[in-house]
Structure 1
Amino acid sequence: MSRLKSELKNKDRQLTVAKISVICITVICFALIFVIYTFPSTLRIFIPPDMRAASQRPWWEVPPATVYAFAYQTFQQLNRWTLDGTNDYEKNITALKPYLTPSCEAFLQKDYEDRQRHSELRDRVRGVYEIPGRGFSDERVIIHNQDSWTVNLDLSVDEYYKDEPVKRVLTRFPISIVRMDVDSQRNPWGLGFNCYSSIPLRLEASETGEKK
């Protein structure tokens, strides 16, 4: 009789251990499913544009060339008024909203209102272009940390009023760029255009032949 009781106790103990094991395995499975479900389906990796030489860098590090390209393309699109600045400038701000930081968007909206108030948009055509020989170089991208940069864009600003040239100036625009990985569908760069980091500097014509 005592032997039977002992065997029953052993079986009960084994059943208890088996139940605990099943519960633990179930919890682990649900945890793995949760991790797999929440893990990002894509991973953004920045690859330097020049692959002629080997390059080793952390996957999260953004190459200076990528930061420069983002700053230049965004700034150029903002300042591309093909027909009329009154409509084009406002449309550009709206279209580029996914690439703008909230503070920069507010700054641009105020700039638009100020220009409109002073009649600096109507019938205006505008474009900005790189000054020859003053394009990308590592020195033009100042790295503050892994999430913040300043890009010095040396550009020619051309503006026309009813087909008449009214402005052609050479200017250095210090552009603030930050990491802004919010929506990869609307902003595949993972960067944010944060407007000016300081006041733009007008360049003299003689400076364009020098590389700074």
Structure 2
Amino acid sequence: MSRFKNKVDDQQAHIFSLRAAVGLLAVLCAALWFGWQTAPRDLTVHVPPDLRTGSVRKWWDVPPENIYGFALYIFGQLNRWPTDGEKDYLAAIHQLQSYLTPSCKAFFEGDYQYRKAAGELRQRVRGVYEILGRGYSDDPELRVQQLDQDSWLVNLDINADEYYAAEPVKRAVVRYPLRVVRYDLDPERNKWGLALDCYQGTPQKLKLPGEAP
């Protein structure tokens, strides 16, 4: 009798262990499912533009060439007024707001109001472009400095030309120290995962070689 009782006890213990294993597998599957559901569906990987020698980088790292290209493109679009600065400047701020931090957007909106009140926008045509020979450089002190893992300082040497009724009214040669930050908030609106955080310092006027004093 005891032999049959021991066999029944063994079978119950085995059934209990199988139930425990099934429960453990269920918990593990639930954890894996949760991790799969919460994992990002899209991942932005920044690749340097020159791939002749290949590139090995961490997925979260952003090459300085990309930082510089982003700053130049967004800043150039903000300062491009093709027909009338009073309309074009504000429209550019709104169109590019996904690439501006909230504080930077507020800064440019304040700059717009100031220029409008000073009469510097109506019927003004403006464009900025990189000074020839002063584009991206590998020298970190010259163009792109990484401040920390999520922010960079970009020095843009820019020509800014303004016209009123087809007449040139302003030409400025300026170095703009721009702050760029990581900004992975809305990949649908901002594929770069970066944003301008306005100026890191005061823009400085430049004097080009051969320019009249």
Instruction: Check whether the contact 1:62–1:146 (CA below 8 A) recurs between aligned residues.
Output: no
Equivalent residue number for residue 16 of structure 2? 16
Query: Do the aligned partners of residues 207 and 199 (structure 1) sit closer, same or farther apart at CA in structure 2, a change above 3 Å counting?
Result: farther
* 2:137 aligned residue: 137
Amino acid at match of 2:68: Y
Gaps of 5+ in 1: none
The residue matched to 1:205 in structure 2 has which SS?
coil
Letter in 2 for 1:110: G
Deviation (angstroms), 1:12: 1.5
Deviation, structure 1 residue 207: 7.7
- Contact 1:81 / 1:127 at 8 angstroms: preserved in 2? yes
Partner of 1:185: 188
Give aligned pairs, total: 208
Following TM superposition, by how much is the alpha carbon of 1:133 offset from its aligned partner in structure 2, in angstroms? Answer: 0.7
Give the Cα separation in 1 of the matches to 2:112 and 2:47.
Answer: 36
Q: Which string of whole-angstrom CA distances, capped at 9 and with x for unpartnered residues, describes residues 133-155 of structure 1? A: 11111231111122111111001
Q: Which runs of 5+ in 2 are unaligned?
A: none
* Structure 1 residue 129, shift from structure 2 partner: 0.6
- Code of the residue aligned with 1:135 in structure 2: it is G
Q: TM-score, normalised by structure 2?
A: 0.93
- 1:10 Cα deviation (Å)? 1.5
What residue number does 1:102 align with?
102
Tell me the alpha carbon deviations over residues 66-124 of structure 1, each in whole angstroms, 9 at most, x when there is no partner: 00000000000000101111111111000001100111011111111111111111111
Question: Aligned-residue CA RMSD in angstroms?
Answer: 1.4
Q: 2:175 aligns with which of 158, 167, 172?
A: 172
- Determine the structure 2 residue equivalent to 1:62: 62
CA distance in 2, matches of 1:178, 1:111: 21
Report which stretch shifted further, 7-16 or 25-34: 7-16
Q: Distance in 2 between matches of 1:203 and 1:17?
A: 79
Instruction: State the identity as a percent.
Output: 48
Give the TM-score taking structure 1 as reference length. Answer: 0.93
Whichever residue aligns with residue 205 of structure 1, its letter is L
Partner of 2:202: 199
